[in-house]
Copies of this chain bind each other. A is one copy, B any other.
């Protein structure tokens, strides 16, 4: 079941918490605020989640699960290397900037608020996701289409993609789809050349702004 379709009480709580955690940060969000946003009182929240941290961990684990699913699904639809890599970029950005924005952002930026054991679990899952990127990148490196330091290639690409969460604002002319194409072009130029259609370049990204 997809989170967006999850009408259960639990799902609603998680999405509300994720939204507040993203907007104000985990530490600055009180359980009372979360409860209030849900129209309940703080005591009721603890019927569903034993601790505030359990709420955070669950948001993050579902976030990793979602992006992993999304990218795997995107990969399943493509068989050629350039298309596969573009699909990864597109699915990563769609997860990060689309309907899952809250959970994804929390996962990327709030992991330091976790206790040691929870942090280890979440980061292990995140590592597993990032590992997905190695096969296509290694393949591209073998063909001479990206640098042979494939770990650095991955860190650079994921860094640029993840950082979009800091500046990209939705409801702009430049949608996620177009952004994905352009960043793919910038990050993997030699792969992009192999794509059939020539991508339009530099129509102007007026949408880029500093975070509010």
Interface residues of chain A, those whose CB is within 8 Å of chain B, are 24-25, 27-28, 109, 112-113, 123, 126-127, 141, 147-153, 155-164, 166-167, 179, 182-183, 185-187, 189, 201-205, 208, 210-211
Contact = CB atoms under 8 A, between A and B. Distances in A.
Given A156-B183, A159-B160, A151 B25 contact: no
A159 B163 contact: yes
Given A210-B126, A210-B127, A147 B201 contact: yes
Contacts of A127: 210
| Residue from A109, A112, A156, A157 having most chain B Cβ neighbours under 10 A | A156
Contact of A201 (B149, B159, B204): B149
Contacts of A161: 159
A210 B128 CA distance: 11
B28 A186 contact: no
Nearest to A127: B210
A208 B155 contact: yes
Contacts of A202: 141, 147-150
20 contacts: A25-B27, A25-B113, A126-B210, A141-B202, A147-B185, A147-B186, A148-B201, A149-B202, A151-B204, A152-B179, A152-B183, A153-B186, A155-B163, A156-B187, A157-B160, A158-B163, A159-B159, A159-B160, A159-B161, A163-B163
Contacts of A162: 159, 163
A155 B210 CA distance: 10
A28 B113 contact: yes
Nearest to A112: B25
B182 A149 contact: yes
A141 B202 CA distance: 10
B164 A159 contact: yes
A127 to B, nearest CB: 5
A141 B205 CA distance: 14
B152 A24 contact: no
